[in-house]
Chains A and B, each alone.
Chain A
Amino acid sequence: MASWYINRTFFFDVHPPLGKMLIALSGKLSGYDGTFPFEKPGDKYDGARYQGMRLFCTTLGALVIPLTFLSIWEMTKSLEATFIGTLLLLCDVGFMTLNRYILLDPILLFFMSCSIYGCFKVSTLTNDGLLPFSPRMLSWQIFLGTSLACTMSVKFVGLFVVLFVGLRTVADLWNILGDLSKPVKFTITHLIVRTLTLIVWPFVLYVFFFWIHLTVLSKSGNGDGFYSSGFQARLEGNSLHNASAPRVLAYGALVTLKNHRTGGGYLHSHHHLYPAGVGARQQQITTYTHKDENNRWQIKPYNRERVEGTVVVRSGDLVRVTHAPTGRNLHSHRERAPLTAKHLQVTGYGEDGVGDANDVWKIVISGGKDGEEIQTVRSKLMLVHYLQACVLTTTGKQLPKWGYEQQEVSCNPNLRDKNALWNIEDNVFDDLPKVSFESYASGFLERFYESHAVMFQGNSGLKPKEGEVTSQPWQWPINYRGQFFSGSTHRIYLLGNPVVWWTNLAFLIIFFLVYIINSIKEKRAEAFGVSRQVGEGSLLLNAAGWTFIGWALHYIPFWAMGRVLYFHHYFPALVFSSMLTGILTEYLLSSVRSYLSPELGKTAYHCIIGVVISTTVYSFYLFSPLAYGMSGPLASEPNSTMAGLKWLESWEF
C-alpha cells in the first residue's frame, strides 16, 4: 500500500488512510523507492529497503507497553497492579508477533494506547480539581483529542476507543456535576472545553488526514473504477481528466451511460444474442467496466428518427436509446431476465433504430422535477420502461460464458432499486458548446463524502463465502485458533500466549462475579447501616470496571458484524483485558492479605506475585518460537521442536 503513496497513484482500500501514510512516510525516509509489488505473503524482499518501515511499526508496537504501564498507574497508583498488567502484555507472544511486521495494527494499538493514557490522565486531573482552562488540562485534552483522531484515521475500529473515551468523559462530567459546592456554570465550561478538544479538534484532524490522502494521490491507478465520474475527473491519467463535453444532453447525442453503484460499469451491448433457453433470442445487453466502442448509445425521441436543430432532453421525456455500433434499440419485454427471475429481460431489438413500442423509455432525473434539463455527469438518471413500468438496472451478477462474464442488465419492477441510477459520462454532440470536465470534478468535501460511502460499502461487502473458514468472535478469548503469518519453511504463527490468554479469560469471569457480589454487599450495607471501610479496594475495583467496559466495547460489537473477521481483531480488547487482570490480581491479593496476619499475609503475597511473574515469563520463553519463526516439522509430529506445546487440537503450527 505504501508503494502507492510513494508513486502517488490512486487506490482503494477499506481502511482510512493515516496508517498507510505513516508507513509510506517512514519508507520514504528510509529510502524505499516504492517499486516492490507486495503481491502475496511469503515473497522475498529482493533488495527492497523494507527495514525502515518495519522498524517504524515495531517501535510503535513496542511503545504500547510503556503506555499501558502509565495508564494502569494513572488509574490505580498501585505498582503491583501496574507491573502485572504490563508484564502480561509484554509476555504475550501474539501481541509481539502482530507488532513486528508492516501492518496497520501496531499503529492502531499505539494510538489507541495513547488515547487510553490521555483519557485517564485527563480524568485524574479533573479529579484533582484542575480548572478547565488551565494549560496542563488543556494540553492533555488536546493530546487526547489528537490520539483519538489518529486512531480513527488508522482503522474504523478506532471508533470503539472513541466511544470508550466518550463514556469516560460523560462519567467525569457527571462527577463534576454532582459536586454541589461548584456552580452549574463550572460543569458547562468543562463541557464546552471537552466538546472543542475531544470532538471538534479530532474531526478537523480527521478531515485533514483525508485531505492529505486525496491530495497526495493525484494519479490514476487501479482503484478508479470504484468511484464516480466526477471523482475520476480529478485524477491525472484518467481519461476523464482534462476531457470536455457539452453540459446538457441533446437529442442525437452519442453518450455512454455509467451505472451509479460503486464499481458499476457502462451500459454495453455487442453482436451476440442471448443463447437459446434464456428468454428471447435477441441481442445481449450487459454492463462492462472497461471503456469500449460498444458502450456508445444514441438518444432519440420516441417517435422520430432525428430532430432538427438542438433540442435538449428533459426529465420525463419519452426516448428511445439506440446502440450506436449495431443500430439496435434498448428493449424490454415480458420474459424473465437471465439470472434474476423476478426481473424482466433487457435486449437489443430492431434494425437500424426501427423497433417497436417496447423500445420506449421514460428518462427521469432521480429526485428531480419533470422538465429539468439532463446534465452530463451530474444528473442521476432512471430509465423507466414505458409499457412494463420497470426500471433499467444492473443486478451486479456475472453472466456465464455466453455473456463474456459481463454483468447482467435487467428491468426491475421495483422502481426504488438503488442500482437503477445511471449517469451520462461521455457526451458527443457538436452543436453545443463544450465545457471542460474540470467543472464537474467534485470538490474536496464531495470527494471526502464519496470515499467514505465507498469504504463503507467495501467494508460491508467483505462477506464470508460459503464454506470458507472464518474466525468467529467466540474463538478469540479462548485462543482457539491462530492465523498463519508466513510461509512453509520459516513459519510464523499468530497465536496468543495461552497462559496469558486463559488467565485473562478467567479474570474476566472473576471480575464479573466480584463486581456483582460487591455491589450487592454495598447495597445491603447501605440499607442496614453497617459501616464498611472504603479505601484502596474501591479505587481498584472502579479501575477494573473501566477496563472491563473497554474490553466489552472492543469485543462485543464484533458479534454483530456480518463481515469477514480475523483473529487479530481481538488484540485491542486484549490490551484492556490484560490491564483488568493486573488490577484484579492486586485487588484479590490485597483483600486476601487483609484476612491473614500481617506476617503471613506478607509472605503469601510475595510468593503469589513471584509465582505469577515466573509462570508468565517461562510461558513466553516456551511459546516465543511462534513469533520468531519455526522451522522443521509441524508440532503434531513428535520430532518437532514445538512438540508437546500443541495444547489444543485446533492449533495449526
Chain B
Amino acid sequence: MDTGRCVKNRKINKIRKEVTEPQEYSYSEKTCNSHREVGDGAPAENETEKPELMLTNKMNHSPSRIYLQLKIDVIAIGLLILALCTRLYKLDEPRHIVFDELHYGRYVSLYTKGVFFFDAHPPLGKQLLYLAGSIAGYDGNFTFDRIGTPYTDNVPVKALRLVPAVSGSFLVLITYFLMLELSLHQWTAILAALLVLLENCFLAQSRFMLLESIQILFGLCGVYCIIKSTKRIGLTALVWLCAAAVLLGCCFSVKYSGLYTYYLSLFLVGRHIWLQLDQIKSGTRLLFSALWRFAVLLIIPLAVYVSVFYMHLSMLPKAGPHDSVMTSAFQASLQGGLASITHGQPLHVAHGSQITLRHTHGRTCWLHSHAHVYPVRYADGRGSSHQQQVTCYSFKDVNNWWIVKRPDQASLAVSRPPDAIRHGDIVQLLHGITSRALNSHDVAAAVSPQSQEVSCYIDYNVSMPAQNLWRVDIVNRDSEESTWDSIRSLVRLVHVDTGSGLRYSGRQLPAWGFHQHEIVADKVLSHQDTIWNVEEHRYTKADDRKERERELVTAEMIPTAVTQLTFWEKFTELQYKMIAHAPDAPHGHMFASEPAEWPLLVRSIAYWLSPDSNAQIHLIGNIVTWYTGTISVVVYSALLAIYSVRKRRACEDLPPFVLNKFYETGYTLFLGYWLHYLPYFFIDRTLFLHHYLPAYIFKILLLAYIMDHIYLVLQLHEKTKHVTNLFILCVTIWLSYIVLTFKKFSVLNYGNVDLKENDLMSLRWKDTWDFILHKKI
C-alpha cells in the first residue's frame, strides 16, 4: 500500500516530500497527470496503476535508460503511523472483558476447541480473531462470563485486539486513498483521513475485540476497488473488479450490515454501465461488458461467503451448547452430543420401533404425553374429551417415547428382518409408558379452538370411538416407496379419519398442562410446524408391557449406520436458522438507542468501568465532527435541490466539471450514507450506537467533500476568491477544535485515567450522556 515500484522517466528520483501549500486545482484527469509528472506532490500510488502509459512514455523519450525506483508516499505513511500510534497505544489495557468481547471472546474460545456454536452473524470476523489468537497460542481455556471479568495470563489480549486495531488504523489510510480516487483534491483527502483518525468512536471501536472496524475496512476497500475498476477498461478493470468482489464478500461475511456496502457497489457498477450506454456503439460489446461485471459481482462474493461458511463448519466438528437450535440431523452430524446417543441406532423405522418424535423446524420439542387428562371444562366454558393429554415438551424425558405399530399386528416385537414402514403406510403410535394410542377427533383443541384436539385415547364408552390411525407422509422422500428413516426423514403424520396433520401450534397450555406446548391436528397440512422427525430410535425386543417399560427406562443401543450430512445441507440449514432466529435480546437495554437519535449523538454506550476507580470506556463520538457531519448532509441535500432547480431553469452557474463531480462523488457518498442508515428505521430490534458507524464513515467523507466543494465554488468567482483564505482559516480553527475535543474525550477510549466526579461532569456535554460513577460509601 505504502510503497510503489515504478519505471519512469528521468526527472524525479528523490523521495517525495509533503507539499506545504494547496496547489491550484487540477481541473481534469489530463492536466492532473501532467502536473504529476512535474512532481508536485500528488500521491505516487495513482501512477503505479498505469503501467502501460508509463511504458509508452519510456519508449518515446528515453529508450536507452531504465530506472528502478522506490517511491514512498509520505502522507500515507504519516497517516498510518499516526493511526497505529493512537490505536495500538496500551492495547492490552484494560485487561478486563470489555462490552461485546464477552461474545466474540467466547466464540474464539469455542473455535479453539472446535465446539459448534450458533450465532446470528456470519463467521469471518470471528475467524480472523481466532486466527490471531491461535498464532499467539491461545488455548481456549478462559470462560467469558460477564463484562468486567479480568483476563487471566493465558489469554493473549494484545493479539486478539490487534486485528481490529490494525483494521482501524488502515481505515484511516483507505479513506485517504478513496477520497483521492474520487478525484478530490489531496488536501480534502488528508482532511477526511484526519477526521477519521480523530474520531473517538472509531478509536473506541478499534481497540477491542469488536467487528465493526474490520467490516468497515473491507467495505471501504471494496468501494475503492470498484471505483478504480469503473475508471479503467479491459483486463485492469476486471482485476480491480475481482478484488472488489472478494473484499465485498468478506465485508458481508463479517456482519450482514456489510450487505448495504454491497448494494452501494452494485449501484456504482450499474451506474457505470448506464453511463456507457451512449458511449459504446456496439450492442454486443455493451451487453458483454454489463454481463461480465454483474457476473463477477454476483458469483465471487457468494463464493467467498460460502467458503467462509465451509471453513466455519469444518472448524467446528464437535457438539456444543447451542446444538438444540439445530435439527436432529444436524446435531447427529457433530461429534459428541446427540451423535453419541444416536450413534449406532437402527436406520429404518419398522413395526415395533421405539422412537422419539422431534418437532423439526422452529422450537425444539418432542411429542410427549403423560398420565394426566384434559380438564372436562376449560376456563372459557368449552368442553374437552377428558382424554389423556398430548403435548410438545422441550426437554428429554422418558415420556417422549412412542412405539410405532401397524394396526393389524398384535405383537410389538420387531420381526426379523424388520417390517419397515414406508411412505403412505397407515400406522398407530402407542405412547411408551402408558401404552395408549395417539388419537384425534372432532373436538376443539384446548388453546387453538380452530384446530382439532389430539389426545391419547381412553375409552370412556361414550360413543366416541378411537380414531387412532395415522398416515405417514414422508416429505423429503426420493421415491414413493421410500422407507421412514430415523433422523433423516421429515414426516407429516396425517390423521386418516379427518385428513388433518399432527401439528405443533406454538401456544402454551395453562397450568393444567404444565405449561408445555400444545399439539393439535390442523387442516392446513402445508405448514412447516406439521413436520416431525424421529430422533432417538431403537427396536422393541420384548412383547411384554412391563418388559418394554424397563427397556425404555434403561435404554440401550443396537449399532448400525452413522448420520452424515453434506456441506450444502448443513449450510442451507444454518442459513435458514440464522434468518429465522429471532434474537431475544433484552428490550430496553440501558444504553440502547433509536436510529433517530444517532445523527445528534444523543446516547453513548458504556463499554467498561474499572472495578476500583472511575476509569471507564465509552463509545462516544467526537461531537464536533459529528455535528458538522450532520450539517453537511443537510447542506448537500439543499445544494442538490438548488442545483437541480437551477438546471431545470437552464441557468448554468457552475462549470460542468464542478457539477459533474458534485453529482458523481457526492452521490456515491450521500447514497452510501443513507443506504447504511435508513434500513435501521425498519428493524425491530434493540439497536445500539455502533450500528451507525458504517453510515457515519460515509458521512465523514461527505463532510470532507462538502468542504472541497465550497472551496472550489469560492475559487471560481473573482469576487469570492479572496474569501478562500478566510475559509481555509476557518477550517483550520475547526480542525484544531476537533483535535482538542478528541484529546479531551480520548480518556473515555483508553480508560486508563481515574476520573474524578468533576472531570466526568466536565465531559458530560449533553444531559443525555450517562457516565458511571462509583458511589463513595
Chain A residues engaging chain B, CB cutoff 8 angstroms: 174, 177-178, 180, 184, 342, 401, 413-414, 416-417, 465-469, 520, 523-524, 526-528, 560, 562, 636, 649-650, 652
Q: Are B523 and A342 in contact (CB under 8 A)?
A: no
Segment with Cβ contacts to A, from B10-18, B112-120, B277-285, B741-749: B277-285
**B645 on the A face (CB < 8 A):** yes
User: Looking at the complex, which of B329-337, B499-507, B622-630, B703-711 is the stretch in contact with chain A?
Assistant: B499-507
- Whether A562 contacts B279 by the Cβ 8 Å rule is no
Cβ of B30 within 8 Å of any chain A Cβ, yes or no, is no
A527 touches B278 (CB 8 A): yes
A-B contact count (CB 8 A): 47
Q: Are A174 and B506 neighbours in the complex by a CB distance under 8 Å?
A: no
For B684, list chain A residues within 8 Å (CB): 562
A40 to chain B, nearest CB (A): 12
Q: Tell me if B588 and A417 are in contact (CB < 8 A).
A: yes
Residue of A nearest to B278 (CB): A527
Which of A342, A466, A649 makes the CB contact (< 8 A) with B526?
A649
15 pairs, CB–CB < 8 Å, chain A vs chain B: A177-B649, A414-B588, A416-B768, A465-B506, A467-B506, A468-B506, A520-B277, A523-B274, A523-B278, A524-B277, A526-B278, A527-B278, A527-B279, A528-B278, A560-B682
Complex Cα spacing A390 to B296, Å: 56
In this complex, what residue of B is CB-closest to A395? B588
CB-CB nearest in chain B for A526: B278
Q: Mark B578-602, 1 if CB is under 8 A from A, else 0.
A: 0000000010101000000000000
Q: Besides A174-B648, A178-B648, A417-B588, 12 other CB < 8 A contacts?
A: A177-B648, A177-B649, A180-B650, A413-B590, A414-B588, A466-B507, A467-B504, A467-B505, A467-B506, A469-B527, A520-B277, A523-B277
**A82 CB to closest chain B CB, in angstroms?**
32
Give chain A residues whose Cβ lies under 8 Å from the Cβ of B527: 469
A652/B586 in contact, CB under 8 A: no
| Cα distance, A524 to B290, chains bound together (Å) | 15
Nearest CB in chain A to that of B277: its residue: A523
The docked-state distance in angstroms from the alpha carbon of A416 to that of B524 is: 46
Given contacts A523-B277, A523-B278, whether A652 and B506 have CB atoms under 8 Å apart is no
Whether B529 is near chain A, meaning CB under 8 Å from some CB there, is yes
Bound state CA distance, A603 and B117, in angstroms?
67
Interface residue from A174, A524, A560 paired with B278 (Cβ < 8 Å): A524
A171 nearest CB across to chain B (Å): 12
Cross-chain contact A414 with B590 (CB below 8 angstroms): yes
Contacts of B278 in A (CB 8 A): 523-524, 526-528
- Give chain B residues whose Cβ lies under 8 Å from the Cβ of A527: 277-279
Asked if residues A636 and B526 are in contact (CB atoms below 8 Å), the reply is no
Chain B residue with minimal CB distance to A177?
B648
* C-alpha spacing A520/B526, complex, angstroms: 43
- Which residue in B504, B524, B529, B649 is a CB contact (below 8 Å) of A650? B524
Question: How many residues of chain B are within 8 Å of chain A by beta carbon?
Answer: 27
**A180 and B649 in contact, given A417-B588, A466-B506, A527-B277 (Cβ under 8 angstroms):** yes
Classify the interface of chain A: helix, strand, loop or mixed.
loop
With a CB–CB cut-off of 8 A, which chain B residues contact A524? 277-278
Question: Residues of B at under 8 Å CB distance from A?
Answer: 274, 277-279, 281, 499, 504-507, 511, 523-527, 529, 586, 588, 590, 645, 648-650, 682, 684, 768
CB-defined contacts of B525 to chain A, threshold 8 Å: 649
Q: In the complex, which residues of chain B have a beta carbon less than 8 angstroms from the beta carbon of A417?
A: 588
A468 to B529, CA, bound (A): 11
CB-CB nearest in chain A for B503: A467
Q: Which residues of A sit under 8 angstroms from B277, Cβ to Cβ?
A: 520, 523-524, 527
Measured CB to CB, the closest approach of chain A to B373, in angstroms, equals 21
CA distance A380 to B527 in the complex (A): 48
Nearest 9 CB-CB pairings of A with B: A467-B506, A527-B278, A560-B682, A414-B590, A562-B684, A523-B277, A177-B648, A466-B506, A178-B648
How near does chain A come to B303, taking the closest CB pair, in angstroms?
27
Q: Which residues does chain B contribute within 8 Å of A469, judged by CB atoms?
A: 527
- Contact A652 to B523, CB < 8 A, known contacts A527-B279, A560-B682: yes
Which residues of A are found within 8 Å of B506, using beta-carbon distances?
A: 465-468
Nearest chain-A residue to B591 (Cβ)? A414
> Given that A467-B507, A523-B277, A562-B684 are known contacts, is A342 also in contact with B650, CB under 8 Å in the complex?
no
CA–CA, A110 and B499, complex, Å: 42
Q: How far is the CA of A520 from the CA of B648 in the complex (A)?
A: 23
Best-buried of A401, A413, A466, A649 by chain B (most CB within 10 Å): A466
Which B residues are CB-close (under 8 A) to A466? Answer: 506-507
What separation, in Å, do the CA atoms of A523 and B279 have in the docked complex?
10
Q: Output the least CB separation between A169 and chain B (Å).
A: 16
Asked whether A650 and B526 contact (CB < 8 A) given A414-B588, A528-B278, the answer is yes
**Chain A contacts for B505, CB-based, 8 A:** 467
Shortest CB–CB separation between residue A155 and chain B, in angstroms?
A: 20
Please measure, in the bound complex, the distance between the C-alpha atom of A7 and the C-alpha atom of B377, giving whole angstroms: 36
Known: A467-B507, A468-B506, A527-B278. A177 touches B645 (CB 8 A): yes
Q: Given the complex of chains A and B, what is the CA–CA distance between A652 and B590 in angstroms?
A: 46
Contacts of B499 in A (CB 8 A): 636
Chain B residue at minimal CB-CB distance from A414: B590
Q: How far is A523 from B286 in the complex, measured between Cα atoms in Å?
A: 13
Q: Is there contact, CB below 8 Å, between B524 and A652?
A: yes
Expressed in whole angstroms, the minimum distance between the Cβ of A344 and any Cβ of chain B is: 14
- Is A342 a contact partner of B586 (Cβ separation < 8 A)? yes
Residue of A nearest to B650 (CB): A180
**List of A residues within 8 angstroms of B507 by Cβ:** 465-467
Given the complex of chains A and B, what is the CA–CA distance between A153 and B419 in angstroms? 67
Inter-chain contacts of A178 with B (CB < 8 A): 648
Chain A residue numbers with a CB within 8 Å of B588 are 414, 417
Q: How far is the CA of A324 from the CA of B511 in the complex (A)?
A: 34
In the bound assembly, the distance between CA atoms of A650 and B524 in angstroms comes to 7
User: B307 to chain A: closest CB distance in Å?
Assistant: 30
The answer for the CA separation of A600 and B529 in the assembled complex, in Å, is: 56
In Å, the complex CA distance between A650 and B526 comes to: 7
Closest beta carbon of chain A to B33's beta carbon, Å: 27
CB-CB under 8 A from A649, the residues of chain B are 525-526
In the complex, which residues of chain B have a beta carbon less than 8 angstroms from the beta carbon of A465? 506-507
A527 and B275 alpha carbons, distance in the complex (Å): 11
> Are the C-beta atoms of B649 and A467 separated by less than 8 Å?
no
Q: Which residues of B contact A180 (CB under 8 A)?
A: 649-650
Q: Which residue of the partner chain B has the closest CB to A341?
A: B586
**How close is B445's CB to chain A, nearest CB, in angstroms?**
12
B505's nearest neighbour on chain A, judged by CB, is A467
Residues of B within 8 A of A414 (CB): 588, 590
Alpha-carbon gap, A466 to B505, bound state (A): 9
| Identity of the chain A residue whose Cβ is nearest the Cβ of B448 in the assembled complex | A467
Q: How far is the CB of B365 from chain A (nearest CB, A)?
A: 12
* Minimal beta-carbon separation of B273 from chain A (angstroms): 10
> Residue among B281, B523, B588, B682 with the most chain A CB within 10 A?
B588
Residues of A within 8 A of B523 (CB): 652
Query: A634 — nearest CB in chain B belongs to which residue?
Result: B523
Q: Complex Cα distance A528/B507, Å?
A: 66
Q: Closest residue of chain B to A400, judged by CB? A: B511
Give complex CA distance A477, B649 in Å. Answer: 42
Instruction: Give the chain A neighbours of B529 by CB distance below 8 A.
Output: 467
Q: Closest CB-CB distance, A366 to chain B, in whole Å?
A: 13
Instruction: Name which of B529, B645, B649, B768 has the most chain A CB atoms within 10 A of its CB.
Output: B649
Report the separation of the CA atoms of residues A652 and B500 in the bound assembly, to the nearest whole angstrom.
Answer: 13
- Cβ-closest chain A residue relative to B517: A467
The residue in chain B whose Cβ has the minimal distance to the Cβ of A178 is B648
Distance from B467 Cβ to chain A, minimum over Cβ atoms (Å): 18
Q: Is the CB of B682 within 8 A of A528?
A: no
Distance between B176 CB and nearest chain A CB, rounded to angstroms? 36
Query: In the complex, what distance in Å separates the CA atom of A510 from the CA atom of B735?
Result: 54
Contact B281 A528 (CB under 8 A): yes
Tell me the complex Cα distance, A27–B523, Å: 38
Chain B's nearest CB lies how many Å from the CB of A428?
34
User: In the complex, A649→B499 CA distance in Å?
Assistant: 14
Q: Given contacts A466-B506, A527-B278, A560-B682, are A184 and B526 in contact (CB under 8 A)?
A: no
> Within 8 Å CB of A650, what residues of B?
524, 526
Could you tell me the distance in whole angstroms from the C-beta of A88 to the nearest C-beta in chain B? 28
